[in-house]
Amino acid sequence: MMIEKRLCIVGLGLMGGSLGQALREHAAYVVGVDRHAATRRQALADGVVDFATADLSAALDQTDVLLLATPVKSILNILEQLPSLKPDGCMVMDIGSTKLAINETMSQLPPSFSAIGGHPMCGKEVAGYQAADPEMFRGAAFILTRSRRTTQEIEELALSIIKLLGAKPMFLSAQRHDQVTAAVSHLPYVVSAALTRAVSKQHEQALWQISASGFRDSTRLAGSDPQMLLDILLTNRTAVLENLQIYKRELEAVIGMIEEEDEASLAAWLSEAQRQHIAYRQEKDASG
């Protein structure tokens, strides 16, 4: 399948770079917008884009479909400028990590725009174009959130792109998306970062040498792009705080049980966590 329209990918980092690499052979023409000159040079050298620029407004002139792959606040900023930058309108899809604020801003676009929100549930703890991987989306859930500007045309295009990526489309309201990802994605980011910070306070030369795969895996997310995380935490603040409070109560409960050496409660607390982990793994294995 070929996308005959002219694509413009804004942000050629981990996510946008991966998107560009995955779509390359299926897209007639792609322009890449990125503020880093080294990234633009590399994407051009790789043949991932036909043209690379730091100037969004110049790129927009020749764009039919705009794919926004920057951190959330930058996506919001671009959406707000779009009506003046591209008065005739175009098709817009974003792949930002939170969806409610983006959805509201998308819905304010003039009717000349058709727009849909997207969020591929995949990633890596390494930021930047160098870490891009066209296979990253394969098998991942790709959430789509409809806005007031979602037309059948942009929805069909989004589904075609998701199919090309090998991901699994799933429609969810922006609000529900932000609630669920606050739990399964944003909370783990904060937990991993807090864990990395707490353990790094230890004064033992051989600390990292002693650490095993359990530490590696439970702190992996701490390596994620701080700007991406910052925008996530600030644009999904209420749901993230709710989940942090639920999490903090679990932590306080287990601290109390250890303090009081309440062996029976502690055993039940740990066993329930193991049971939930097994239930999660089974459902994950079953859904392939």
Residues of span 4-43 touching a second copy by CB under 8 A: none
Residue 47: CB minimum distance to a second copy, A: 28
Spatial contact of 9 and 67, defined as CB atoms under 8 Å apart? yes
Work out how close the CB of 124 gets to a second copy at its nearest, in angstroms, rounded to a whole number.
Answer: 8
3-class SS of residue 110: coil
d(CA 187, CA 247): 8
- Residue 199 in contact with a second copy, rule: CB under 8 A: yes
Query: Residues 132-151: x/- map of binding to a second copy (CB under 8 A)?
Result: --------xx-x--------
- Which 154-173 positions form the footprint of a second copy (CB under 8 A)? 170, 172
Shortest reach from residue 85's CB to a second copy, in Å: 26
Beta bridge partners of 146: 116
Nearer to a second copy, 104 or 242 (CB): 242
CB atoms within 10 A of CB 204: 8
Candidate residues 62, 77, 173, 211; the one interacting with a second copy per rule CB under 8 A: 211
| Binding status of residue 217 toward a second copy by CB under 8 A | yes
Residues 34/70, Cβ–Cβ less than 8 Å: no
123 lies in the binding site for a second copy (CB under 8 A): yes
Q: Residue 68 in 3-state DSSP?
A: strand
Q: How many residues does the chain have?
A: 288
Task: Give strand pairing partners of 31.
Answer: 8, 51
**Footprint of a second copy on residues 102-121 (CB under 8 A)?**
121
**What is the Cβ-side half-sphere exposure of residue 161, based on CA atoms within 13 angstroms?**
32
Residue 70: phi and psi, rounded to 5, are: -105, 175
Scanning 39-47, 74-82, 102-110, 201-209 for contacts with a second copy by CB under 8 A, the matching segment is 201-209
Residue with tokens 């002693």: 210
For a second copy, the binding residue among 44, 85, 159, 254 (CB under 8 A) is: 254
For the bound state, the minimum distance from the C-beta of residue 260 to a second copy, rounded and expressed in Å, comes to: 10
Q: With CB under 8 A as the contact rule, which of the stretches 25-33, 52-60, 101-109, 242-250 interacts with a second copy?
A: 242-250
Six token digits for residue 215? 């530490």
